[in-house]
């Protein structure tokens, strides 16, 4: 009897292999997201949001609002001066970031970087700049430069390079190589190739990114005022310290209205720059001829005017080199000061817990409001308009102001900070979620509607799966932004590692500040790495 040899294993088809990889990637992503959700729930529980009863909170809120009414708008001339000064400093800082981002993005983009080492350096600069909170930067810069607007301008500018440089590099990598190749074939230099073959293609995206960053910087100015940056933020800090809530809330209202106005202006300009094809009947060439020069000269006038109003002490750059070695030496050797290793770990977890709980709250609320703000999900135009208006209003409120109000009302520290971050996250994450949902391929949605699927079925079966990669990226972007925000909210009693950092800065223990700053950066970089890993899995 002859025994037939075993049949060779059948090779998997390419389609089967792809399906298996996608299933494994989906399981991995779900497991990682599940771990973060569990950590967020744990953080939420540890922060003990039930520590203050509703009745007590309502009584405290009534007392607080009674103490802040009527709002104190006395000395309107001084308030106007502080408002203009704040705008000038923020605009100057954003311009610094815009200028620095050009060479950084050129190095970081794969299709323009002169050398792989420079590309790595360019990408590292964008990551590290995003990781350092503005508050930490201005504390460090204040030791090197004289008091005034210059440390604030540099802190805003250096931190903003992270976002502006990264998005600018991404835009460079996505250009049409045709014009650049033609210019290179004509014997142009590298500079001519960049100026005429690349820059015209990415300028609209770069302008839109700079304007968006300016909105973010305006909200951040409230926090920087707590460490000496002149303007509305400093007036807010001084009013809170002397328990003058009428003046403080008047300044807070001005900041809110200023942020909303800047958001509307920036949105209008971005639509003019980016929407020449879809939202405008003017061709791109005609737009450049008619509106481009007007916007260019207007922007130049605004920058020059802001520089004159901010009055940065440029002369400090001539003298800082003499004291720079001594100032840098103050940040070493690294030390945790009087804190033990266990205390450092506990404070770091407290900061992460505030960020996790805030992101969890924000993600839940953003999932609702952001979905209704998407035109392809909202049941009607009115719902879509109201949801967009809510997102705009929430984005206009700096997290610092929310945290101050919630801490004064509830008497809590970390819990109030987490709620402030959660509400603030709705403005950012909700808008990003709505934009991502509106950009999905409408084909699968139409197919499900044609067979009688309900709105929830279409949303969960066709819309959300397509937007999932972008949504995951937005979630981690919000989380690492909240880690930085949780650090700086320590200035109003949120606790965590930021409180230790702020105390050390007041005592001039800058080596302790540097140590805690590096711990925060390490956490942010770890989150950045996880986000990149998950996005790559979802993109396969």
Residue-wise DSSP of 27-71:
HHHHHHHHHHHHHHHHHHHHHTTTSS-HHHHHHHHHHHHHHT-S-
**38, burial (CB in 10 Å: exposed 0-12, middle 13-18, buried 19+):** exposed
CATH domain 29-67+330-540 topology:
MetI-like fold (1.10.3720)
The class level of CATH for 69-312 reads mainly alpha
Q: Are 410 and 55 in contact (CB under 8 A)?
A: no
Q: How far, in Å, CA of 396 to CA of 267, rounded?
A: 13
User: Where does CATH 1.10.3720.10 sit in the chain?
Assistant: 29-67+330-540, 69-312
Can you give the pLDDT of all 540 residues of the chain as single tens digits? 455 555 555 555 555 666 777 777 778 888 888 888 898 888 888 877 665 555 556 666 667 677 777 888 888 889 999 999 999 999 999 999 999 998 998 898 888 888 888 889 988 888 888 877 777 788 778 878 877 888 889 989 998 998 888 888 888 887 877 888 888 888 878 788 888 888 888 887 788 888 888 888 888 888 888 777 888 888 888 888 887 888 888 888 888 888 888 888 887 777 776 554 343 444 445 545 556 677 778 888 988 999 999 888 888 888 888 777 887 888 888 888 888 888 888 888 888 888 898 899 888 898 888 888 888 888 888 888 888 888 888 887 777 777 777 776 666 667 778 888 888 888 888 888 888 888 778 888 888 888 888 888 888 888 888 887 778 878 888 888 888 888 877 777 677 888 888 888 878 888 888 888 888 888 888 887 888 787 777 666
**Which secondary-structure segment (H or E) carries 484?**
helix 464-488
Tell me the C-alpha distance between 49 and 376, whole Å: 35
H helix runs in 109-149, sequence order = 116-131, 134-142
Token pair of 10, please? 């059948």
**Residue 197, both tokens:** 């073959």
């Amino acid at each position: 009897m002859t025994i037939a040899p075993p049949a060779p294993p059948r090779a998997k088809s390419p389609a089967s292999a792809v399906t298996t990889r996608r299933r494994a990637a989906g399981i991995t992503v779900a497991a990682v997201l599940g771990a973060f959700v569990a950590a967020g729930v744990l953080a939420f529980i540890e922060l003990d949001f039930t520590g203050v009863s509703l009745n007590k909170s309502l009584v405290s809120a009534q007392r607080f609002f009674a103490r802040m009414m009527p709002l104190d708008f006395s000395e309107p001339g001084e308030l106007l001066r502080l408002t203009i000064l704040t705008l000038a400093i923020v605009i100057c800082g954003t311009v610094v970031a815009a200028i620095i981002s050009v060479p950084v993005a050129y190095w970081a983009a794969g299709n323009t970087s002169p050398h792989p080492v420079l590309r790595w350096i360019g990408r590292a600069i964008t990551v590290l700049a995003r990781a350092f909170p503005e508050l930490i930067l201005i504390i460090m810069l204040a030791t090197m430069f004289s008091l005034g607007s210059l440390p604030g301008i540099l802190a805003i500018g250096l931190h903003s390079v992270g976002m502006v440089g990264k998005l600018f590099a991404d835009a460079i990598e996505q250009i049409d190589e045709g014009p650049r190749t033609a210019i290179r074939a004509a014997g142009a230099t590298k500079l001519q190739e960049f100026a005429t073959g690349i820059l015209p293609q990415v300028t609209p995206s770069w302008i839109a990114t700079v304007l968006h960053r300016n909105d973010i910087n305006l909200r951040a100015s409230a926090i920087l005022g707590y460490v000496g940056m002149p303007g509305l933020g400093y007036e807010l800090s001084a009013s809170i310290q002397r328990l003058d809530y009428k003046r403080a809330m008047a300044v807070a209202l001005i900041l809110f209205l200023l942020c909303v106005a800047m958001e509307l202006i920036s949105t209008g300009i971005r639509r003019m720059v980016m929407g020449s094809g879809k939202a405008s009947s003017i061709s791109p060439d005609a737009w450049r001829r008619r509106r481009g020069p007007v916007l260019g000269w207007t922007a130049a006038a605004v920058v020059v005017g802001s520089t004159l109003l901010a009055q940065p002490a440029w002369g400090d750059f001539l003298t800082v080199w003499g004291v720079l070695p001594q100032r840098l030496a103050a940040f070493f050797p690294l030390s945790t000061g009087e804190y033990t290793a266990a205390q450092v770990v506990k404070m770091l977890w407290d900061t992460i817990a505030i960020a996790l709980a805030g992101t969890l709250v924000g993600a839940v609320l953003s999932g609702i409001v952001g979905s209704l703000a998407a035109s392809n999900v909202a049941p009607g135009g009115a719902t879509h308009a109201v949801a967009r208006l809510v997102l705009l209003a929430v984005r206009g409120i700096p997290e610092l102001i929310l945290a101050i109000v919630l801490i004064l009302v509830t008497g809590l520290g970390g819990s109030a900070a987490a709620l402030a971050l959660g509400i603030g996250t709705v403005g950012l994450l909700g808008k990003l979620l709505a934009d991502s949902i509106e950009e999905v391929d409408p084909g699968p949605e139409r197919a499900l509607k044609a067979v009688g699927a309900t709105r929830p079925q279409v949303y969960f079966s066709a819309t959300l799966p397509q937007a999932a990669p972008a949504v995951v990226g937005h979630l981690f972007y919000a989380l690492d932004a909240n880690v930085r925000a949780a650090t700086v909210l320590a200035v109003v009693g949120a606790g965590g590692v930021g409180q230790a950092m702020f105390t050390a800065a007041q005592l001039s223990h800058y080596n302790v500040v540097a140590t805690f700053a590096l711990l925060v950066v390490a956490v942010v970089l770890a989150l950045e790495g996880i986000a990149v890993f998950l996005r790559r899995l979802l993109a396969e």
